[in-house]
Every structure is written in structure tokens, then in C-alpha cells.
A and B are shown apart, each in its own frame.
Chain A
Amino acid sequence: MKKIIYIVLAASFLTSCVVVKEYEKVNINDPDMVLSSRKANKFETSFQAYRESASGANGGKTGGGCGCN
């Protein structure tokens, strides 16, 4: 649990990182740099929610809506 707290605290300091200007975001705006799961992963994520106990924390569905775990 301490590790989780450290991660959250570390994240809070990330806001003090250097600010990248809009015109410097060419690489950040690359389609492969998107901070979410790919659209093609939608059904893959669904079967993982059925076959595994863990779900959520990926920006998507967290549970409910199906008879899955």
C-alpha cells in the first residue's frame, strides 16, 4: 500500500515538469502516443474481464453490464 501512496505522491510532483508548448507537441500528438487503449482492443479487454478477476484502471469500463467477474 505504501508503494501506491508513493506513486500518487510522485505523480503530484510531475506537474512541476517542464511545460511543452503546443508547437513542440509533434511527437506527443503522434497517434501511437495516445494515453488510452487502442480501439481495436475493445473486445480483447471484454474477454479479459470475463476470464480474469481484475478489470478497470485503464480509462475504460470498470465493471457491471455483464455477468462477468
Chain B
Amino acid sequence: MKNHKMAIDEYREQISNYAKNFAVANTSVKGFEKRKRPVNPIDMFVEGNLAKRLWKLSDQFVFMKESFEDLNEWIGEFSKAVPLEAYDTGSLDSIQFLDWMTRNKTLSAEQFDMLTCHRSRIAIENFGRENRIAHVRFQDLLSNHDRLKSELGSNDSLSLHLNPLRVWARFQTRILLDDEADLPSTMIFFAVGIDIRTAILEPTGQELVAELEVESPTRLSRLKSRLCDMDSDELGDLVREMSEIGLIAFG
């Protein structure tokens, strides 16, 4: 009789063989109880899983379809070459696909920008997963915006909080930008509720975010002393503008 460890090792090998084959739509596995069926049930299982994976990827990349003529073919090619990772939540597969395209396809500058955009959105979601409490707290602060914005000119003890879910991305083409945008252009992605917003900030805005990245929350009075190139009104307008888009919240 086999000892327990040997039996478990054999089981590990057996499951690994099934999973690794099924994950890349390979149906040539043995060991299933054969019944007379008009269709091979292993094929049905694998086809069903593959269709679900293709649908999910296709759905996540739908906004890129116009810029990628062969997107569906690429998704099909990728799905047969790269298995889904364990515990995939959807974003893992997207990242794998983005990496696969970067490695295996010749991309135009516009297509590369589309990939950068998608990577940035996924990065925001992943930060959200890692910093859920910070995200919920910040969104709660944002809900005070209307009440506190009127205090902006008069209350120097207002504290400014920087949106914790944000990521910078640099774009080389205008495919996702206005016709007048400078190139290359740096865009900030950030989360407002369940949405991901973007903004291109003027140098003063970038400076303000950089200051808040060093210290957040920061009192408005302290910020005034640190950003001495900006006068009070200019800073007030900038802070108001950035709080309205959801990049800064008052506390």
C-alpha cells in the first residue's frame, strides 16, 4: 500500500497535469470516466472556460479595439500561450496580456499610449485593493467638499488631503489627449468613488501635488509657506479646482 505522502505527491502531480493543460485549452488529458457522448465533455469544459476568459479580456480591452485591428486575434493567441495565474481577479490576466503584447507585438506609439493608459487604470485598482481603508476615508472627506470649500479663503487651519489612489503616466502621442496638448504629456489618474478620472495638471498643479506627496494631510497655512512662489489667491484657486475634480479633499 502506498504511503500517505506518496499518494499526496501523486495527487499533486495529477491535479497539476489537469490544471496546466486546461488552463491553455489543451484537452488531451487522460483519466476521466468515459461515457458514450456525442461531444467530448472535456472539450466542452475547456471551451467554456476559454470562452469566459476571452469574453472577460475582450470586455476589459473594449476601449482599445479601434486602435488595435487584431485585438481579438491577439487575445486568442495570448490565451493559448499564457495560462491564467492562480487567484486571478481579472486584473492579473490583463497585466499579463499587456506584458505579452509589449514583448511579442510591434506596437505603434499610439498603441503604446493605449497600453500605458490601461496599465494606469489597473494600477489604481490595485492600489485600491491594497489601501481600501484610505480610499474609503478619502471618499468620505470628498463628500464634505461643498461644506468646506466656502472656508477656503478664511480658514487657514483647513487641512488638505491628497487622493491616496493616484498614478502618473506619460503619453507620447495625442491619441488620448486634446489636439493642443503638449507632447510628451504627463497625466494623473485618480479614483473618485468607483470611477477613475484623469487630469493634465499645469506646472503649479504638479508642484502642489508634489508638496502633498511629501506631506498629506497638510494645513493650508503650512502649504502657503512652502509654496512661496504662489500668492494666496492663486493657491486658493488651484486648491479649489483640484478639490472639485476629486484630487484633493478638505479635512
- The answer to whether A and B come from one shared complex is no
B residues near A (Cβ < 8 Å) are none
